[in-house]
A and B are shown apart, each in its own frame.
Chain A
Amino acid sequence: MAEHVVPHHFHSAEQAFESSKLGLWLFLVTEILLFGGLFVTYIIYRAMYPDMFHEASHHLNRPLGFVNTLVLICSSFTMAMAVNKTQHNKSNRASQYLLLTLMFAATFMVIKYFEYMHKFHDGLLPGAHFTNTEITHPKADLFFSLYFMMTGLHGTHVLVGMGLILWVLIRSNRGHFGSHYSTPVELTGIYWHLVDLIWIYLFPLLYLIG
């Protein structure tokens, strides 16, 4: 058991926690604005080439996208349970839930890998690398540029999240957390919910418009 020490510039553990939480929420606002640039690009090009977007979206694998959506929602649930168990001093249960979350995240990335491989194989690539001949619209590469930028940035966030969850899992196993101190678990949880939430927007915008 490692005793957690409140940093010297805070008065109390509560003040430290509140500060960390505010800091993280502000960071998440910046994340939304980061994705916001891509959403604006999406809106503009979808308005410019609506037919192409419809046609191109048919070339995404809906069942796999749907499974991935379910996987992420489940991972959000297990993450929330991990936070809950930590706060109730059930570190072992919390660790199990964290491990489950990590596995869901890995599943998401594996499925994403197969989707990407399939796109590479079909020549559905961004910009000048686009070689697919099935889609007749001359600007279809723009859709796949967006697809790869948006899902790629999201995937990067999933990888970062997996790193965070692993770090929290290791510390949880060592008994660092409990009702007295659960900040890293909670913050990782909030971050993970944002990753989930962004996917919930990406899925219909990219896969379901046909």
Chain B
Amino acid sequence: MAYDSNDHHKNYINAEKGIWSWMTTLDHKRIGVMYLFATMFFFAVGGIFAMLVRLELFKPGPFFSPDTYNKFFTLHGAIMVFMFIIPIIPAALGNFFLPIQIGAKDVAFPRLNLLSWYIFVTGSLLLVFSIVSGGVDTGWTFYTPYSIRTATSVILATLGVFVLGFSGILTGLNFVTTIHKLRAPGMTFHRMPLFLWAIYATAIIQVLATPVIGITTALLVMERVLHIGFFDPKLGGDPVLFQHFFWFYSHPAVYIMILPGMGIVSEVITAFSKKHIFGYHAVAYSSLAIAGISFIVWGHHMFVSSQSPLANFLFSLLTMLVAIPTAIKVFNWTATMYKGSISLKTPMLYALSFLFLFTIGGLTGLFLAAISVDVHLHDTYFIVAHFHYVMMGGTVMGLLAGLHYWWPKMFGRMYPEKWGKLSCALTFIGFNLTFFTQFWLGKMGMPRRYHDYLPEYTPLNIASTVGSWFIGAGMLIMFIYFIWSLFKGKRASENPWGGKTLEWTIESPPTTHNFHKEPVITTGPYEYGELKTTGEA
């Protein structure tokens, strides 16, 4: 591609100077970077709370008071879910790469995009403020009636969630509109990179599910302020109704978390296997299938909530349906690697970790979808292990794969490969040590959310806590080399991995307007071995 060599050092980062130019920017790339820094910061905060939770459980007997422990695990969950894992991939990487991957200059509504960042920060501050003003001890689910009665700052925290929801809705509708209306000439839906199919499916869930958590948290706030009595049994209300509302959002939210991770893995596996993805259409449409099914399975969180046996049966059956599109993806990724020319760079190692860990998370999900097994394992550490395998083993590994894959493009610098591999290895080993032991603890009957336990659970808990230190070390190394690379890293070329999607045809870091002239797309996204370049010639 042709560009003026004098133009080479002008990019979205140095095009304008000063903090103010960032705080008022309408550039989707800058907004993506702002989201990245905000959410990674909360990842660190949530991670510190996680280590404190594990510290308490290192051995029997209290380290902190039970109240403090309750606040720690609530804040760990709430921060990780609402301020890190749900927003990060769509809002940070999606914002940055969605317009580039469809060949557009920006998202459809740049002002709205900036506004949703400010809304995100406002919601986050409310949640942070609830920590400062005494913390919350309900668990991140805010279950009634306890959340109505506890003296902790539930109102601030749920208002925070309400506000954060708005940010997600606005980002989601911005993305759907952008994908529908701003694709470059020749960029048909079936030529879109699979990351975008995943982001598209995610955006649909964000738009359709998030308003329900909005009204639920609004009702909870009203319940506390005015005692309106929808969820409080003392006032004639039904606490199970709260659970229905909560999970009608929060189960689809699980797919808001995992779908973008799956999208990243599709990109990374093709790029590092140098092969066209196996079953492009199946992988693309399975994202939409997962999005669709996500709306009809929420009841599996409530098998022991006095829900009717018929509802239990139906939710159990429907839940198992999710395994079909998910398995389609896993098999297609595996088939893509078959006879591929695989290079085990850091992003690929993270993508393989994703495959391994997410498969364990998914298969243990089937255990829990079966009512008889779930009744036994309900609210034990088996659940904790399962959802960490999905959310951290899946989404976070996918995120880290994507972050390492796109880091050179985003900042124009390479990170040190050796340290990347070390960090990945520490995280992977630490992760399994932390959470595989918890499957055993759960099977032995150790309940979740307790600050203390019986002596027979001690060895496995020690192993689990030591594992958390490995993860902490791995993540700390990563934070350090990423920041180091911003200043000292080797300059990245346009296309360090030999990727075939549009973002690899422009400079690293990209210019403000992404493309020097509008790309015209004539082929699909992963044409390895057949064409030298995609997009504009």
Q: Given A22-B177, A23-B177, A27-B173 in contact, is the A38-B236 Cβ separation under 8 Å?
A: no
Q: Given A9-B104, A9-B106, A145-B229 in contact, is the A36-B235 Cβ separation under 8 Å?
A: no
B228 proximal to A (CB < 8 A) = yes
| A26 close to B176 (CB less than 8 A) | yes
Across the A-B interface, the 5 shortest Cβ-Cβ residue pairs: A37-B215, A128-B227, A145-B228, A127-B227, A33-B211
Q: How many A residues face the partner with a CB closer than 8 A?
A: 36
Q: Closest CB of chain A to B180's CB: distance in Å? A: 6
Cα distance A141–B223 in the bound complex, in angstroms: 12
Q: Closest CB of chain A to B219's CB: distance in Å? A: 7
Which residues of A are found within 8 Å of B182, using beta-carbon distances? 9-10, 15, 19
Most buried by B among A34, A38, A127: A127
Which residues of A are found within 8 Å of B174, using beta-carbon distances? 23
- Which size bracket describes the interface of B in this complex? 35 or more
B391 proximal to A (CB < 8 A) = no
Chain A proximity mask over B229-245: 1 for CB below 8 Å, otherwise 0: 11000011110010001
Q: Closest CB of chain A to B319's CB: distance in Å? A: 21
Which residues of B are found within 8 Å of A141, using beta-carbon distances? 228-229, 235-236
Cα distance A27–B172 in the bound complex, in angstroms: 10
| B177 close to A19 (CB less than 8 A) | yes
Q: Closest CB of chain B to A144's CB: distance in Å? A: 9
Which residues of A are found within 8 Å of B235, using beta-carbon distances? 127-128, 141-142
Closest to B234 in A: A128
B residues whose Cβ falls under 8 Å from a Cβ of A = 99, 104-110, 112, 169, 172-174, 176-178, 180-182, 207-212, 214-216, 219, 222-223, 226-230, 235-238, 241, 245, 513
Cα distance A202–B222 in the bound complex, in angstroms: 20
Which residues of A are found within 8 Å of B219, using beta-carbon distances? 37, 41, 149
| A29 close to B215 (CB less than 8 A) | no
Q: Closest CB of chain B to A132's CB: distance in Å? A: 15
| B181 close to A44 (CB less than 8 A) | no
Q: Closest CB of chain B to A40's CB: distance in Å? A: 8
Which residues of B are found within 8 Å of A44, using beta-carbon distances? 238, 241
Which residues of B are found within 8 Å of A22, using beta-carbon distances? 176-177, 180-181
Q: Which of B104, B173, B236 contacts A23 (CB 8 A)?
A: B173
Q: Given A9-B110, A33-B208 in contact, is the A18-B181 Cβ separation under 8 Å?
A: yes
Q: Closest CB of chain A to B235's CB: distance in Å? A: 6
| A149 close to B222 (CB less than 8 A) | yes
Closest to B204 in A: A26
**15 additional contacts, CB 8 Å, given A126-B227, A142-B236, A145-B222?**
A8-B513, A15-B181, A15-B182, A19-B180, A22-B177, A27-B169, A27-B173, A30-B173, A31-B211, A33-B211, A33-B212, A37-B219, A141-B229, A149-B219, A149-B222
Q: Closest CB of chain B to A182's CB: distance in Å? A: 18
Q: Given A22-B180, A44-B238 in contact, is the A37-B216 Cβ separation under 8 Å?
A: yes
A129 proximal to B (CB < 8 A) = yes
Cα distance A139–B232 in the bound complex, in angstroms: 12
A residues whose Cβ falls under 8 Å from a Cβ of B = 7-10, 15, 18-20, 22-23, 26-27, 29-31, 33-38, 40-41, 44-45, 126-129, 138-139, 141-142, 145, 148-149
Q: List 13 A-B contacts (CB under 8 A).
A: A9-B106, A19-B181, A22-B176, A22-B177, A23-B173, A27-B173, A33-B211, A37-B214, A37-B216, A37-B219, A38-B215, A127-B228, A142-B228
Cα distance A33–B105 in the bound complex, in angstroms: 32
Closest to B230 in A: A41
Q: Closest CB of chain B to A184's CB: distance in Å? A: 13
- The A interface, classified by DSSP as helix, strand, loop or mixed, is helix
Cα distance A36–B244 in the bound complex, in angstroms: 13
Which residues of A are found within 8 Å of B104, using beta-carbon distances? 9
Closest to A24 in B: B173
Which residues of B are found within 8 Å of A10, using beta-carbon distances? 182
Cα distance A148–B238 in the bound complex, in angstroms: 19
Cα distance A145–B112 in the bound complex, in angstroms: 34
Cα distance A16–B295 in the bound complex, in angstroms: 32
Q: Given A127-B226, A145-B229, A145-B230 in contact, is the A34-B181 Cβ separation under 8 Å?
A: no
Q: Closest CB of chain A to B224's CB: distance in Å? A: 10
Which residues of B are found within 8 Å of A126, using beta-carbon distances? 222, 226-229
| B228 close to A37 (CB less than 8 A) | no
Closest to A139 in B: B236
Most buried by A among B180, B222, B228: B228
Which residues of A are found within 8 Å of B241, using beta-carbon distances? 41, 44
Cα distance A29–B241 in the bound complex, in angstroms: 22
| B105 close to A9 (CB less than 8 A) | yes
Q: Closest CB of chain B to A49's CB: distance in Å? A: 8
Which residues of B are found within 8 Å of A36, using beta-carbon distances? 211-212, 215
| A37 close to B177 (CB less than 8 A) | no
Q: Closest CB of chain B to A202's CB: distance in Å? A: 15
| B212 close to A26 (CB less than 8 A) | no
Closest to B111 in A: A7
Q: Closest CB of chain A to B223's CB: distance in Å? A: 8
Q: Closest CB of chain A to B227's CB: distance in Å? A: 4
Cα distance A34–B210 in the bound complex, in angstroms: 9
Cα distance A15–B108 in the bound complex, in angstroms: 10
Which residues of A are found within 8 Å of B513, using beta-carbon distances? 8
Q: Closest CB of chain B to A178's CB: distance in Å? A: 23
Cα distance A138–B229 in the bound complex, in angstroms: 12
| B108 close to A149 (CB less than 8 A) | no
Cα distance A126–B229 in the bound complex, in angstroms: 8
